[in-house]
C-alpha cells in the first residue's frame, strides 16, 4: 500500500487490513478535550482530513483527493492522487490554482459539468464529467453522482439542483458517501448501505445540525464524519450533532476529527 503522511502532526495513521468483514479502526492521536484530533483507518480505507471540505481517501494502492483547495503545498506530504473528485464550483471545492500546482499527468478528474466549464487546460490523464444519477465503473472503484442542492427558500441561490455532485464511492466492500454542499434532500435520506458518510452542516450555505442529524438517522450510515461545518457565524456544533444522532441511534458511530487548524 502507498504510504500516506497526514499534514496534522498530532495524528499518526496506522492502516490495517482486516482478516474478515469485522470492522476495525486503528487510531493513535494526542489527547484533546473534545476528541477531534484524529485521523482514522476503517478496514483498509484510510481517511485523512485536510481542511473544511478537502480530504483524502486511500484504499490499497488507490489515492483519492476530494475537493482539494488551499494550494498545492497543503498536499506536499501526501501521495500523488490517482483520482480527484470535485463537487461544485465554489472556491472551497474548486481551486484552480491548487490543481495547477499539482502533478496530475496520471490523475483522473471526476467533476460535474459546471466544474468542467470552469477548468483551464490541465495536464491530466483524463477528465470525466458526471451528472446527477450517473454511475461509472473505474479500474479500482465505482462511483455514483448524487444530487446536492438547497431546500430552504432563502438558500436556493447557493446550490441549485443539478449543478453539483455528491458522490457515493464503492471501495472494496465499503460504500462511502460524500455529501458536498447540500441540505437534507430526499436523495440523501434514501441512501442505502452506506459504511462511511461525510455530511456537511453550515449556515447559511448548507443545513442546520438538526437537519443533518435527521437525515443521517434516516439513511443510517455505520460511521458518519461531520465535515464542512464552518459557516459565516463560526463553527456548527458537531457535539450537538453527535448527541442528536446517538440519542436516537447509538449504533451509528459519529467520528469527530480535526478539520480546522
Cα gap 221→128, rounded to integer Å: 27
* Residue 2 domain flag: no
CATH code at position 84: 3.60.15.10
How many CA within 13 A on the CB side of residue 179? Answer: 33
CA dist., res. 32 & res. 177, Å (int): 27
Taking the CB of residue 104, how many other CB atoms lie within 10 A of it?
Answer: 18
Check residue 243 and give its pLDDT: 98
* In-domain check, residue 4: no
Query: Given the C-alpha cell 456537511, which residue does it identify?
Result: 200
Answer yes or no: is 222 within a domain: yes
Residue 185 has pLDDT above 90, yes or no: yes
Q: Which domain holds residue 182?
A: 11-254
Using 50, 70 and 90 to split pLDDT, how confident is the model at 156?
Answer: confident
For residue 41, the model assigns a pLDDT of 58
3 within domain boundaries: no
Is 140 among the domain residues? yes
Q: What is the pLDDT of residues 219-260, one digit of tens each?
A: 999 999 999 888 888 888 999 999 999 999 999 999 999 999
Number of domains forming the structure of the chain? 1
Residue 260 lies in a domain: no
State how far the alpha carbon of 13 is from the alpha carbons of 53, 54, 252, in Å: 20, 17, 22
Amino acid at each position: 500500500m502507498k504510504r500516506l503522511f497526514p499534514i496534522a502532526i498530532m495524528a499518526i495513521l496506522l492502516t490495517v487490513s482486516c482478516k474478515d468483514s469485522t470492522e476495525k479502526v486503528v487510531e493513535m492521536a494526542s489527547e484533546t478535550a473534545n476528541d477531534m484530533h484524529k485521523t482514522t483507518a476503517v478496514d483498509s480505507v484510510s481517511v485523512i482530513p485536510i481542511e473544511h471540505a478537502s480530504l483524502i481517501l486511500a484504499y490499497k494502492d488507490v489515492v483519492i483527493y476530494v475537493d482539494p483547495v488551499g494550494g498545492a503545498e497543503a498536499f506536499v506530504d501526501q501521495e500523488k492522487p490517482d483520482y480527484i473528485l470535485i463537487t461544485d464550483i465554489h472556491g472551497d471545492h474548486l481551486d484552480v490554482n491548487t490543481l495547477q500546482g499539482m502533478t496530475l499527468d496520471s490523475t483522473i478528474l471526476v467533476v460535474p459539468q459546471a466544474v468542467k466549464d470552469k477548468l483551464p487546460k490541465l495536464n491530466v490523464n483524463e477528465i470525466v464529467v458526471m451528472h446527477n444519477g450517473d454511475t461509472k465503473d473505474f479500474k479500482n472503484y465505482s462511483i455514483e453522482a448524487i444530487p446536492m442542492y438547497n431546500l430552504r427558500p432563502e438558500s436556493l441561490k447557493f446550490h441549485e439542483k443539478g449543478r453539483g455532485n455528491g458522490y457515493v464511492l464503492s471501495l472494496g466492500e465499503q460504500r462511502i458517501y460524500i455529501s458536498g454542499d447540500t441540505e437534507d434532500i430526499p436523495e440523501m435520506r434514501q441512501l442505502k448501505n452506506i459504511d462511511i458518510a461525510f455530511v456537511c452542516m453550515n449556515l447559511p450555505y448548507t443545513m442546520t445540525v438538526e437537519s443533518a442529524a435527521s437525515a443521517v438517522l434516516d439513511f443510517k450510515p455505520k460511521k458518519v464524519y461531520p465535515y464542512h461545518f464552518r459557516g459565516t457565524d463560526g463553527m456548527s456544533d458537531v457535539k450537538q450533532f453527535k448527541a442528536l444522532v446517538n440519542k436516537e441511534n447509538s449504533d451509528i458511530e459519529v467520528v469527530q476529527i480535526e478539520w480546522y487548524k
